[in-house]
Structures are given as structure tokens and as C-alpha cells.
């Protein structure tokens, strides 16, 4: 009897699932193209060799679900600007510190004397703020729907404790809008999507309604173990063969249709959807990110320390000075699913995790980092 809580890596079951998928797709005249939205799934595919096991039937397209990779240079430059302000400690996650902006990175700024701190969890900032009462702590908050509740919990905790020296530079983004933007691009050939399980733990499944109903693409929410992913791929294959598209949960031990209401309420208490947000490689996507509600302007770093920020934004919330991305780095194309990391000329030559040229090699969830670690 299969134990759904433990038997995720058992070889026998993996082999069985691979043969069921191959059988399901046997009569198709081309491989099906499945986009795994999340960088964590890309790492699972490469780590367990799912791409090799299914090389004749499935082409994996790596999606834009890595929050560090999709951060545009303009917003990294703002973080660098904030880190240089007097009396400020800028706190963020380790990966974000190494991603290059247009001229510098946060780690370089730290070397130049800015006080930039790495945190493991937003709640670490409470202690940082208490230990540095005479300084302004700016949290450079990033991440998808998975991490937004943690930022909201930090705001709430700071309110409860009456801590007044924490500010927020919010870069929380949403999963569905970039997927719809990719599907709107006329050359998209994606047949189905593997949805990130940890996102749906928070949001539930309804967020993908448009993708299944309007774009007619199957979406299966998946966990990260090989068994989970293969099961989700089989469910997608069955939908494609059956000629229908719906949202299914392939990760029932963690995901419920309605998600986590408490976390959703916490997000709604502090955040609202932005009109526009720039994504690396995908450009500006309407309603694809969050901002603090007006009620919380007093802790919004974008609103507060606005010498640089407001001067550089136009009425559409877009930056006046277009920052040109490094053209040799193909992160943008990879995030759109147009290229695979090993198709970048710099991959594993000039660009490695020790000397990353682009964000997709810096981040632990980046597709280039996954290929570097597991591709051969």
C-alpha cells in the first residue's frame, strides 16, 4: 500500500509512473511542452533527472517563478540607493544581496560601507530593530504569495510591539499575471502547467481559473518530490489527451482548494495590488505585484525616502530611464521559457555560481543554478 506521506522517492513507483506517462503520450506526434512555473520545481526536475526519464515525451519549459531572478535592475538600483541613505540598515535575503544592479550590488555596497544585513526570516528584523533603535531598518521584501504572509506577519508584530523604526521596500509579486503574459505572447507553445504547491497552500487553486478556462491549458498543483511531479505530469498528460483543461491538485496532502484563509486575510490587511510592475525579461505586467495600502504609507520606504524613487517614476508607475540589461546574459529569455540555460553562451564558462553574470545563476531557485548543479 502506498504511503502518500513517505514514499515519494521509491524507485519502483517512479519507474511505474514514467512508463504510465510514456504510454499516455505514446501516440502524440511531438513532445508535450510543460512549464513548471516555480524554480523549486526546476531544481527537482534537474536533481532527479525527470527531464532525462521523460526525454522522448515531455519538454520542460522553465518558468518565471524565482523571485530573485525576476527582479528588474531598476528595482535593485532602488535597494542600493536605499542602502546608501544615512542611518539606515537595509535587510534582505542572502541571494538578493549578490544580484547585480546597473553599477553595483548590495554585497558590494556592504564592502563600501553601507550597512546591509542578510536575514533568514522576516521576523529576524524585530530583533534587528530593537538592537538598533536609533537606526531605520528597511526590509527589502521579495517573493511570491508564499512569502508575503511572512512580511505581513512582521508588520503586524511590529505594530503589536510598538516598534517604529522598521520600513518596507515591497517587491512581492503574484504568480498568475506573468503566466498569462507568457500565454498572451503569440509564439507560446506551452501545453500545460505545473503549479507551485507552496503558493497554493496559501492562495488555494482559484488563482489559475483564467489559465484553465480562458487559455484552455491544464494546471496541476504539485509538490516537489519526484513522485509528486510525475503524478502531476501524468494528470496533465491525461487532460491533454482527453481534450479538456481544468485545475487539479496533485499535492493533496498539503493543498486545499480554498488555501489558507488566515494567511490570505493577513495579506489583505496590509497589501493591495499595484497597477504595474516590471519583471526581468517580461517587461511591465499590469496588476502583477503588491504594494502597501495607503494606510501604511508611513512605513513604505518607496513613499518615504522618495528622493530617487518618485523622481524616476512616470505617471504609469514606470521608470523614466530605461535601464538596459546586460545583453549577453540570457536570463530574460530563460524566464520567458524561450531558452534553456545551457543555450546561453556564458553558461559554465564566464558565468558560474562563484562568478554569476545574471540573477538566474545567483539564486538558489534560478534555472541556470539548477543546470550548473545537475546538468551533464
Q: For residues 282 and 361, which CB has a smaller minimum distance to ligand SF4 in the complex?
A: 361
If binding is defined by CB under 6 A, does position 358 make contact with ligand SF4?
Answer: yes
Measured from the Cβ of residue 96, the count of other Cβ atoms closer than 10 Å reads 25
Q: For residues 154 and 361, which CB has a smaller minimum distance to ligand SF4 in the complex?
A: 361
Q: How far apart are CA 301 and CA 372, in angstroms?
A: 36
Which residues, including other chains, have CB under 8 Å from residue 155's CB and lie 6 or more apart? 166, 168, 270, 296, 299
Give the 3-state secondary structure percentages of the chain, helix then strand then coil, rounded to 5.
45, 20, 40
At residue 96, the 3 state secondary structure works out as helix
Binding segment toward ligand SF4, per CB under 6 A, in 16-24, 294-302, 311-319, 360-368: 360-368
If binding is defined by CB under 6 A, does position 357 make contact with ligand SF4?
Answer: yes
Q: How far apart are CA 91 and CA 94, in angstroms?
A: 9
By CB under 6 A, the count of residues binding ligand SF4 is 15
Minimum distance, C-beta of residue 175 to ligand SF4, in the bound complex (Å): 22
Q: How far apart are CA 53 and CA 38, in angstroms?
A: 20
Sole binder of ligand SF4 in the list 73, 154, 174, 334 (CB under 6 A): 334
If binding is defined by CB under 6 A, does position 331 make contact with ligand SF4?
Answer: yes
If binding is defined by CB under 6 A, does position 39 make contact with ligand SF4?
Answer: no
Query: DSSP readout, 175-223?
Result: SHHHHHHHHHSTT----EEEEEHHHHHHH-SGGGHHHHHTS---EEEE-
Q: How far apart are CA 141 and CA 75, in angstroms?
A: 11
Minimum distance, C-beta of residue 229 to ligand SF4, in the bound complex (Å): 23
Point out the residue whose Cβ comes nearest to ligand SF4: 358
If binding is defined by CB under 6 A, does position 66 make contact with ligand SF4?
Answer: no
Sole binder of ligand SF4 in the list 21, 220, 240, 360 (CB under 6 A): 360
- The contact set with ligand SF4 (CB under 6 A) reads 329-331, 334, 341, 344, 346-347, 351, 356-358, 360-361, 368
Amino acid at each position: 500500500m502506498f504511503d502518500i506521506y513517505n514514499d515519494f522517492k521509491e524507485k519502483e513507483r517512479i519507474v511505474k509512473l514514467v512508463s504510465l506517462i510514456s504510454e499516455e503520450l505514446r501516440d502524440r506526434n511531438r513532445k508535450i511542452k510543460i512549464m513548471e512555473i516555480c524554480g523549486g520545481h526546476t531544481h527537482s526536475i534537474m536533481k532527479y533527472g525527470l527531464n532525462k526519464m521523460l526525454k522522448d515525451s515531455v519538454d520542460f519549459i522553465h518558468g518565471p517563478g524565482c523571485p530573485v531572478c525576476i527582479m528588474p535592475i531598476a528595482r535593485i538600483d532602488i535597494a542600493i540607493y536605499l542602502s546608501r541613505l544615512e542611518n539606515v540598515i537595509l535587510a534582505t535575503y542572502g541571494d538578493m544581496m549578490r544580484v547585480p544592479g546597473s553599477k553595483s550590488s548590495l554585497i558590494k555596497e556592504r564592502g563600501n560601507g553601507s550597512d546591509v544585513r542578510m536575514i533568514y526570516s522576516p521576523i529576524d528584523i524585530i530583533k534587528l530593530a530593537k538592537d538598533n533603535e536609533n537606526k531605520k531598518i528597511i526590509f527589502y521584501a521579495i517573493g511570491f504569495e508564499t512569502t508575503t504572509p511572512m512580511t505581513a506577519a512582521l508588520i503586524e508584530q511590529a505594530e503589536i510591539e510598538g516598534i517604529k523604526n522598521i520600513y518596507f521596500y515591497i517587491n512581492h509579486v503574484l504568480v498568475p499575471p506573468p503566466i498569462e503574459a507568457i500565454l498572451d505572447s503569440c509564439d507560446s507553445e506551452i501545453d500545460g502547467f505545473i503549479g507551485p504547491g507552496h503558493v497554493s497552500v496559501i492562495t488555494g487553486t482559484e488563482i489559475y481559473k483564467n489559465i484553465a478556462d480562458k487559455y484552455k491549458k491544464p494546471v496541476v498543483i504539485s509538490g516537489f518530490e519526484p513522485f509528486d511531479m510525475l503524478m502531476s505530469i501524468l494528470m496533465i498528460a491525461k487532460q491533454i489527451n482527453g481534450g479538456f483543461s481544468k485545475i487539479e491538485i496533485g499535492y493533496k496532502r498539503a493543498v486545499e482548494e480554498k488555501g489558507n484563509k488566515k494567511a490570505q486575510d493577513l495579506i489583505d490587511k496590509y497589501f493591495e495590488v499595484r497597477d504595474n510592475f516590471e519583471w526581468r525579461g517580461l517587461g511591465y505586467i499590469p496588476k502583477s505585484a503588491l504594494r502597501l495600502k495607503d494606510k501604511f504609507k508611513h512605513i513604505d520606504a518607496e513613499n518615504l525616502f522618495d528622493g530617487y524613487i518618485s523622481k524616476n517614476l512616470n505617471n504609469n508607475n514606470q521608470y523614466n530611464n530605461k535601464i538596459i540589461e546586460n545583453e549577453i546574459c540570457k536570463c530574460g529569455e530563460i524566464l520567458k521559457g524561450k531558452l534553456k540555460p545551457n543555450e546561453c553562451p556564458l553558461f559554465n564558462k564566464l558565468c558560474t555560481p562563484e562568478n554569476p553574470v545574471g540573477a538566474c545563476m545567483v539564486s538558489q531557485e534560478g534555472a541556470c543554478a539548477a543546470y550548473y548543479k545537475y546538468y551533464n
